[in-house]
Structures are given as structure tokens and as C-alpha cells.
Amino acid sequence: MPEALPPRRLSVAPMLDWTDTHYRYMARQITRHTWLYSEMINAGAIIYGDADRFLAFNDGEQPLALQLGGSDPHDLAKASAIASGYGYNEINLNCGCPSPRVQKGAFGACLMNEVSLVADCVNAMQDAAQDIPVTVKHRIGVDRQTEYESVRDFVGTLSEKTACRTFIVHARNAWLDGLSPKENREIPPLKYEYIYQLKRDFPTLEIIINGGITTNEQIAEHLQYVDGVMIGREAYHNPMVMRDWDRLFYGDSGRPIEYEELVERLFQYSRLKIKAGNGVILPHIVRHALGLMHGLNKARIWRRMLSDANLLKNNDGSLILEAWQEVKNANSRTTEIL
């Protein structure tokens, strides 16, 4: 029997250019149960491009969701059908990205204004994905739509018209006019209460909260009101924050990974990937590990060595071990955390 999937109590957010397969490999060494999400991939890239390049992932990355971008039900269905052969555990539709590039293609956050079209997309994706659940990630509103009712009606309509039962909600509006994507992750105010209210209004749906959450204490607090918490930037800039998640939020009594062990696995992984070819070079892998030593002495040396073009050009994973040795020496008196 296949192993049962853990609940989506914790997940790492889809992040373009960040949550690629190399980042996810590292995250998966740190947490066994947390759900991981791919970067957003345009449906068209899968249909007309090299699908394998966008969809292939390492053994053991699951539970893993693929996030698709698009607004054409036919294309989204086709991309979902192709992706369904790869072993993803969920396919997610992006209805929250405010980037102007995405708006031009009329998808991302502006889809929140077109709930019937979103329902058509989700239904087409679900038909094509067969038994892989299709979920939606969205905001609490777009532009000056500030009242709770807009997000309530969006979720209510989709839950009536589609089989989607999981809604991941970034607790901010997307302001499509005048703010950059980065500003759109910082300036519109966070309204966690809206997400708690969604769970009260739709108790049978799985409601996941996202936006501005960084500590285990905050996660524990949110879990009193919703089914799951999705973390983005903190899990990227400080990956070791995930180290206690299995124990704290999944009741796993296993030992959390040690830095030394993780560094050794990253070293082995980089050797394997570089040797296999496919255009993978050391910077592709280590750029996601720059925040790994966050909070330790000499974390800056680690970051500096792993982003030094001169050192990276040898394309030799031993650099990871050398940089680690610097950190290890500088922290030898605090060995309990290593």
C-alpha cells in the first residue's frame, strides 16, 4: 500500500526562481512531512516546451505540489494531464500573483475578478488530473476590494462549482496598479482574521493561511484557527527554521537533522547532479543554501564563499565542505547546536 500523505499542516510556498528542485531537495532533508510547492510554471511552457525540464524532480521530494499559471481551461487541462504522470500529489492554480507580466496573460491575482473562469479552469484541470487533487492559491481580494465578502464569495462559489476543497490564502490584497510584486508582498495590510472567518464559514473546507509568518510560535497560534500554515520567505532565507517542524507540528519523535549531516548530503547531491550533466552547475544548487547557517557564527563566511564566482567556477562541491569547516571551527564551543 502506498504510504499515506501527511496533512497539509505546514507547507513551503511556491516561489518563482526559488523553490526549484534543488531547493526542495534541501528542504526535504530538513523536514520529512512538510508539503513543498514548485515554482509557478506556465501551462504553455509545459505544453509547448521541454516538459521534463519543468516537471522532473528528485525521488523523495513528496509530498509535493505543482503550481500552474494560466487562465485557459484547455491549456491548463493539457498541462495537468502531462504533469499527472510525474508523481505530484497536488496541482495548484495560481490566483494570487500580482506581477504585471502575469496580468498581461490575464492570470494570477486578476483571476479573482473572474470566478466563473476560475471554476472552469479548476474543473478542466481536475478532469485531466484524475485523482490528484486540484487546489487554489489566492489573495483576500484585488485592488480596493477590501471587504471580507469578496473572498468569502470567491471561495464559496468555487466550493460549489468545483471539487476544490483546499484553499491557500495569502492574507493580503493584491494591488494590481502601482505596486511591484515585491511591494505587493509587503505593503497591503495582513488580515489574518479574514482567513479565520473563512474557516468558520466553510468548516468542511481545508483552509491554509499564508503571509508574513516566520516563527514556530506564530505557526502554533494560527493552527488554532485554520487547517494549515504556508511559509514562504522565512523557509527560504532561514531553512533551518524547518528543523523542528516535524516534531512540533507532526508529532514525529525522530531526531532533527544535524548541520554536519545536511552539509554532507548537499555535498553528495551536488556531486551527483553535476556528474549527471543536464546543465547543472554548482551555483544552481548552493545559491539556495546561502541562508543555511543563519544565526551561527561566521554565517557570513559561508554565504561569501558559496557566492564567490572565483571559487564557484571550479564547479566542485567540495567548496560546500570547505565553507562548512569555517563555520564549524567558529562554532566549536556551541557544539550542541551543530
* Strand partners of residue 208: 168, 228
Q: Tell me which residue has its CB nearest to ligand FMN.
A: 232
Q: Which has the closest alpha carbon to 287: 271, 276, 302?
A: 302
Distance between CA atoms of 294 and 314, rounded to whole angstroms?
Answer: 25
**121 is annotated as an active-site residue:** no
Q: Annotated binding site for FMN: which residue ranges? A: 14-16, 67, 137, 170, 210-212, 232-233
Distance between CA atoms of 46 and 84, rounded to whole angstroms?
Answer: 12
Stretch that binds ligand FMN, among 13-21, 246-254, 303-311, 326-334 (CB under 6 A): 13-21
Decide: is 16 part of the binding site for ligand FMN (CB under 6 A).
yes
Taking the least distance from each CB to ligand FMN, the nearer of 76 and 97 is 97
Least separation in angstroms between residue 299's CB and ligand FMN is 20
Residue 88 CB burial class (10 angstroms; 0-12, 13-18, ≥19): buried
Decide: is 43 part of the binding site for ligand FMN (CB under 6 A).
no
Decide: is 97 part of the binding site for ligand FMN (CB under 6 A).
yes
- SS3 call for 314: coil
Interface residue with ligand FMN, options 119, 213, 263, 286 (CB under 6 A): 213
Q: Which has the closest alpha carbon to 266: 309, 222, 313, 319?
A: 319
Taking the least distance from each CB to ligand FMN, the nearer of 238 and 331 is 238
Decide: is 173 part of the binding site for ligand FMN (CB under 6 A).
no
Taking the least distance from each CB to ligand FMN, the nearer of 66 and 124 is 66
Cβ contacts of 74 within 8 Å, gap of 6 or more: 124
Q: Which of residues 121-160 bind ligand FMN (CB under 6 A)?
A: 137
- Which one of 95, 97, 121, 164 is the catalytic residue? 97
Residue 197 CB burial class (10 angstroms; 0-12, 13-18, ≥19): middle
Distance between CA atoms of 195 and 199, rounded to whole angstroms?
Answer: 7
Interface residue with ligand FMN, options 9, 10, 11, 14 (CB under 6 A): 14
Other CB atoms within 10 A of residue 165 CB: 15
Least separation in angstroms between residue 182's CB and ligand FMN is 7
Distance set, CA 29 to CA 61, 138, 291 (Å): 9, 28, 15
Decide: is 291 part of the binding site for ligand FMN (CB under 6 A).
no
Stretch that binds ligand FMN, among 229-237, 244-252, 283-291, 325-333 (CB under 6 A): 229-237
Q: Contact residues for ligand FMN (CB under 6 A)? A: 13-16, 18, 39-40, 67, 94, 96-97, 137, 170, 185, 210-213, 231-234
The catalytic residues are 97
